[in-house]
Structure 1
Amino acid sequence: MRLSSTLFFAGAVLAAPMPMPTPPGIPSSSSAKSQLAGLTVAAANDDGAYDRDLFPTWDTITGTCNTREYVLRRDGNNVQVGSDCYPTSGSWTSPYDGATWTAPSDIDIDHMVPLKNAWISGANKWTTAKREQFANDVDRPQLWAVTDNVNSAKSDKSPDAWKPPLTSFYCTYASAWVAVKSYWALSVTSAEKSALTSMLNTC
């Protein structure tokens, strides 16, 4: 009897590599380097006033789908949803660590540029409406479906303090980070810029 090449371990599916999700707006490495050069370098301005509620999330994007459900459908494989848009089946490959999951509860929707990082790099001066647009931005590479505990490990860290486990994803990660900061005119610290430069040099 021939055994399947697919293995199951702690809820993850280990099989032939699934295609990685590709949110819109990821620049080429050369464009990302140009965008990075144009960012303002400044010390983080942590005024102690950050609150997650200052960035309203999971707006309705289309039909009955909120932002989380929209990204789960966009970034998954063979995703089927119910009338409420919540996935009933499908699989998700987390680009940060390469793990594939079949339960949406194992997937977090990560903000590429974390909300607190945005706050300390300029978003503290925005209106709540603008922060809401940022937190639900599906037009740029800001929202990613990733393994939940990997997202927890990242937390609100910038690339000088945390990088995805998959080094092969460094190029895309840094390109997406820079694209988001460039569009939203957010600053970077010198350490952050140095880390992004190193990651872009892996492209």
Structure 2
Amino acid sequence: MLELATIADEVAAGYSRDDWNHWIDQDGDGLDTRQEVLAAESLQTPEISENRVRDGQWASFYDGRQTSSASDFDVDHVVPLNEAHQSGGWAWDALTRQLYANDLTFPDHLIAVSASSNRSKGARDPAEWLPSNPEALCTYLAWWTAIKVRWELSMDPAEHQTISRYADNQCAGTRIDLAAADAGTVQITVAAQTPPTDAQTPSDGSDCHPAYDPCLPIVDDLNCSDVKELGQAPVTIINIGQDPYRLDGNRDGVACT
């Protein structure tokens, strides 16, 4: 996917956060985009009142911090709005900027993280900032790359060089599936480059996700409720830190307990 990215200098002038309309209630259910992300990423059924998520259980992907209060966490644009502006969003119309700022169609475009990690990151790209949680590094870089290509945003030379260096070394086992590409958009899964074992292969011969034991189906997204309905909980994370469905909130290697 890095080979699909355009390398270009950034356009820093002209950014205004007010030009990127968020958070909006896209489906009219009373929850705006921030609340939708908090509700979806809570590790237990959250308390919702007056169209706000109040209490639940969250684990910050960037630094591993946990909380039961939604107000402690920010909802982060993995590729920040200012970075999107500098990388090509400066030329977008208002509707495209709104769609980007509230994108829930790719589940890792927006994530709930600790306020301190979000403030630390700011608008910096991977050449300037990386998550302190080492188990998050490769997945974060895969998300970043996928979002940049998906939205046809460029990378500056230092940004591209940094991601490429990790892709060739520490993150060489991370893969992005490009099979489902349509009109410039890409659906992705991120997984360790680990061949499925016999225990991970379903008896019917269907595809099986190599990141988990027992076998989980390869789908766009999966949560612990789905896993329990399949009768496969608890689930072992084969390589801690490679958890594309984000089932292991406390990063202990055992998910959906």
TM over 0.5: yes
Report the equivalent of 1:45: 11
Alpha-carbon distance, 1:105 to partner: 1.0
Moved over 6 A (4+): none
Please report the RMSD computed on the Cα atoms of aligned residues, expressed in angstroms. Answer: 1.2
Alpha-carbon distance, 1:83 to partner: 4.2
- Alpha-carbon distance between aligned partners in 2 of 1:73 and 1:82, rounded to the nearest angstrom: 8
Q: Which has the higher Rg, Structure 1 or Structure 2?
A: 2
Report the equivalent of 1:149: 116
Report the equivalent of 2:155: 188
Q: Which runs of 5+ in 2 are unaligned?
A: 175-257
Q: Percent identity?
A: 32
Note if contact 2:48-2:55 (Cα within 8 Å) is conserved in structure 1: no
Q: Kindly provide the amino acid, as one letter, of the partner of residue 110 in structure 2.
A: L
Matched, 1:158 2:125: yes
Which whole-Å deviations, capped at 9, do the CAs of 1:80-100 have from their partners, x for residues lacking one?
233433123211000000111
Report the equivalent of 1:22: none
Pick closer, same or farther for the CA change 1:198–1:75 going to 2, 3 Å: farther
Matched, 1:126 2:92: yes
Q: Kindly provide the amino acid, as one letter, of the partner of residue 77 in structure 1.
A: L
Q: How many residues align?
A: 168
Larger RCO of the pair (alpha carbons < 8 Å, separation 6+): 1
Alpha-carbon distance, 1:167 to partner: 1.5
2:23 to 48, 55, 58: 58
Note if contact 1:61-1:70 (Cα within 8 Å) is conserved in structure 2: no
Matched, 1:114 2:80: yes
- Alpha-carbon distance between aligned partners in 2 of 1:157 and 1:60, rounded to the nearest angstrom: 28
Q: Which runs of 5+ in 1 are unaligned?
A: 1-34
Report the equivalent of 1:32: none
Alpha-carbon distance, 1:37 to partner: 1.0
Note if contact 1:76-1:91 (Cα within 8 Å) is conserved in structure 2: yes
Report the equivalent of 1:177: 144
TM-score normalized by structure 1?
A: 0.79
Q: How does 1:12-31 map to 2 (within 5 A)?
A: none
| Structure ranking higher in helix proportion | 1
Q: Kindly provide the amino acid, as one letter, of the partner of residue 37 in structure 1.
A: E
For residue 77 of structure 1, give the secondary structure of its aligned residue in structure 2: coil
Note if contact 2:54-2:71 (Cα within 8 Å) is conserved in structure 1: no
